[in-house]
A and B are shown apart, each in its own frame.
Chain A
């Protein structure tokens, strides 16, 4: 069975500080996909990134960066120079690669990030 663990339930930082969100996953599949989603106060989840299991290259997108380490089954997310608008709940998720599985995602419990001005 697949499992995603986000050990940090809530993180509070002051604006311009960096914040790193941890994500550890478990799966028996050799090929899989990892995701990060953002849930602002409006409620809908917004897709941030998808990474497949055979691509361990780290990625940077503006102030966001992701560190995928297959050896430790981790897919951590860093927000650099945080802003108040980054305040949200962030979810890490895992999906099987088998086409028959569809796009079902297994989500972690989420980490609430509060950025204070």
Chain B
């Protein structure tokens, strides 16, 4: 079945450590996104990529880094510079704008990764 796979589902990290969250999609989507979810704050965009080898900062990119070497993969690294990394991280993908309008804007989400800093 096509979809988005995020791993690990749960992750614990000590302060000062970097950690990488995996996101893989087999939907043949061009665009991929990382969102952070905190209680009561909804989802906030960290980074997004509309094409391989290109990505842009979202609203809260500080302390995070990404790469987009393959169309299917968009890993997120939470670095030690991120002051408050404990959160639920959601990866999403979508077709590129300009494809059939019926699907414009619809994001497909993974099941998320919950990161806890000890």
Contact = CB atoms under 8 A, between A and B. Distances in A.
Interface in A86-111: 91, 95, 99, 101-110
B25 interface: no
Interface of A: 4, 6, 9, 33, 35, 42-47, 50, 91, 95, 99, 101-110
Given A35-B105, A42-B111, A45-B109, A104 B45 contact: yes
Interface in B68-98: 88, 90, 92, 94, 96-98
Contact of B105 (A4, A44, A46, A105): A105
Given A50-B105, A103-B104, A45 B90 contact: yes
A44 B50 contact: no
Interface residues of B, number: 29
Given A43-B111, A45-B109, A103 B97 contact: yes
Nearest to A1: B59
Contacts of B100: none
Contacts of B111: 42-44
B40 interface: yes
Contacts of B105: 33, 35, 50, 95, 103, 105
B107 to A, nearest CB: 6
Given A43-B112, A103-B94, A33 B42 contact: no
7 contacts: A33-B104, A33-B105, A43-B88, A47-B108, A102-B94, A104-B58, A105-B45
A105 B107 contact: yes
A103 B107 contact: yes
B110 A44 contact: yes
B31 interface: yes
Nearest to B113: A43
Contact of B107 (A4, A9, A42, A47): A47
Interface string B49-60: 010000000100
B16 to A, nearest CB: 27
